[in-house]
Amino acid sequence: MVASLKTPRQVTTLLAQPMRTIIYFFVIKVNYFLISSLNCVLPGDKIIVNGILREVVSGNRSRGQFYIEANSIEFLEEDIRDISITPEDVERIKELAEDQGIYEKLVRSVAPNVYGHEDVKLAIVLQLFGGISKELPDGTRIRGDIHILLIGDPSTAKSQILRSVYRIAPRAVFNTGTRSSGVGLTCSVVRDEVDGRWTLEAGTLVLADGGIALIDELEKAGKEDRNALLEPLEQQTVTVSKAGINAILNARCAVLASANPKYGRFNRYESIVEQINIEPPLLSRFDLIFTIFDKPDETNDGLIADAVFKAHTKPSKPVIDLLLLKKYIIYARENIKEIRWTEEAWNVIKDFYVGLRKIGKDQNSIPITVRQLEAMIRLAEASARIRLSDEVSVEDAKRAVKLMKKCLENIAIDPETGNIDIDYAFSGTSARERDRIEIIKDIIRKLQDNYERGAPLEEILERAKEQGIDYDKALNILSKLKEFGDIYSPSPGRFRVYNAR
């Protein structure tokens, strides 16, 4: 019998529902003893269950249902549990780890027929190996998995990169935002089609536990699905309290997602939050965000054209065989579970973080936060894992800083000042914009009591101009303040501040 195990709760007995004399539908519920003893069947597995079909009898009467006494389970799809690493494989893996050009070889093994995007590919390589998860004395868990988001113009190979990672990762689950309804990206509570009971059905992140979840066109997922990602991306769990079911499911996986801009093309002079249908809290959960532009360039376009033609006529092979690469990733993750930091390596990351914060203090902005600091720690640990080293070197730390700097320069540069401002990336409001907002609100507070119906628009704009804010920017700020409920308009062309003192 061919079966697909869907939920953690479906771990009892194999049942079948008859239709006349033909069994037409099987609900997959595998004997718990079989699963616990083999320790191999997980939610999402497609399996063949071999056993004896028996009828369910209640008292002396048949209930018209059947179950299977399962004897063995076979997997229909290749999985990490099917991969065995031989001593010869270990020798080859160690040779790769000692190779001075290992990082370049790994980069060239990810989507080898996609031209360019070396920084993106390097980040994905580090994501596949992952940082070190830590359990703190108070029971708090710090994730080691790295989350990456690719945002960019259509036809820039984002989906192709995701598909390549799907073939490389030892355990991967692929989904798209357009197909995330129903079970969703986390989990769903559904009514069993056989006995009518409510059961949990695992979504993409739960099924990817211990591996990587690949989500294409994330912006097309429903708002409820996107909001549900906040917990698993940071805490790596999914909490469910529905239909009398209270459970916490593990979602200990890395997430590689892609998204397209709202209006087709990405505008590098506007913040990403204004151009993409993803909420700021969710954006901030990603360790690295890369923007990919389709910018006309004669030299680069010629190289891309040659790469596309080569992919159609004589496609490039990965530098490292995919099966060996899978074994390499598994071996590194299983054998390097603790990593030490040298003082020199830590100072590289610390100096970068403190230096950016100092610049931000002088400019009244926040260029980097603790989340980015933790991301650099994970990236540096993943870099050390690639070398099968239990110690982070200065080069590992520099590699992490380089990727983070590239990311910040892509998404967090305030186009007005040229300064790095993380708030501009995730909220669309820079430090300078916040100052203008406070100036406008202060102008309204001072004027509103002088007029019965509130501060007149003409006078607000005139005073804003005296403060260096032109008419267009002042009108835009007034529109945003009204939209967010900071001010209101008691009559046309008049404004008041809520709770003004």
Are 366 and 445 within one domain? no
| 146 within some domain | no
Domain extent for 404 = 338-427
CA–CA distance, 189 with 247 (Å, rounded to integer)? 11
Say what the pTM is: 0.78
pLDDT of residue 31: 37
pLDDT of residue 380: 95
The residue behind tokens 């033609």 is 309
CA–CA distance, 264 with 289 (Å, rounded to integer)? 18
> Where does a domain end: 54, 77, 100?
77
CA–CA distance, 452 with 5 (Å, rounded to integer)? 68
CB of 130 closer than 8 Å to CB of 328: no
Which CATH number is 422's domain given? 1.10.8
CB of 385 closer than 8 Å to CB of 336: yes
| 400 within some domain | yes
| 187 within some domain | no
pLDDT of residue 102: 92
The residue behind tokens 């009204």 is 482
pLDDT of residue 40: 59
Which CATH number is 447's domain given? 1.10.10.10
CA–CA distance, 365 with 384 (Å, rounded to integer)? 33
Are 445 and 368 within one domain? no
| 123 within some domain | no
| 165 within some domain | no
Are 442 and 479 within one domain? yes
Which tokens go with 311? 């992919």
Are 12 and 73 within one domain? yes
Are 440 and 417 within one domain? no
Tell me the C-alpha to C-alpha distance, in Å, between residue 104 and each of 101, 118, 127, 316.
Answer: 5, 9, 15, 15
Are 448 and 482 within one domain? yes
Considering its fold, how many domains does the chain have in total?
A: 3
| 145 within some domain | no
| 477 within some domain | yes
Helix, strand and coil percent figures for the chain, each rounded to 5? 45, 20, 35
> Where does a domain end: 388, 408, 427?
427
The distance in angstroms from the start CA to the end CA of the chain is 73
**Selection from 105, 150, 144, 170 nearest residue 385 by Cα:** 144
- B/e letters for 171-209, b = 16+ CB within 10 Å, e = fewer, are bbbbbbbeebeebbbbbbbbebeeeeeebbbbbbbbbbb
Are 395 and 358 within one domain? yes
pLDDT of residue 24: 30
The residue behind tokens 């509570």 is 189
Residues 6+ apart with CB under 8 A from 458: 493
Burial, 296: exposed, middle or buried (Cβ in 10 Å; 0-12, 13-18, 19+)?
exposed
Are 411 and 436 within one domain? no
The residue behind tokens 């009559």 is 491
Are 342 and 423 within one domain? yes
Tell me the C-alpha to C-alpha distance, in Å, between residue 372 and each of 22, 279, 344.
Answer: 58, 18, 19
| 264 within some domain | no
Are 350 and 412 within one domain? yes
Are 371 and 417 within one domain? yes
Are 71 and 7 within one domain? yes
Which tokens go with 410? 């892509």
**Beta-strand runs (E) in 311-376:** 340-341
- As a dihedral over the C-alpha atoms of residue 417, residue 423, residue 428, residue 431, rounded to 10 degrees, the angle is -40
The series of mean pLDDT values per 10 residues for the chain, 501 residues long, is 42 35 35 41 70 74 69 69 81 91 92 87 94 86 91 83 90 78 70 71 83 87 82 86 78 89 75 79 89 79 83 84 91 91 94 89 79 94 93 94 90 73 71 79 84 83 82 81 81 78 47
> Where does a domain end: 33, 57, 77?
77
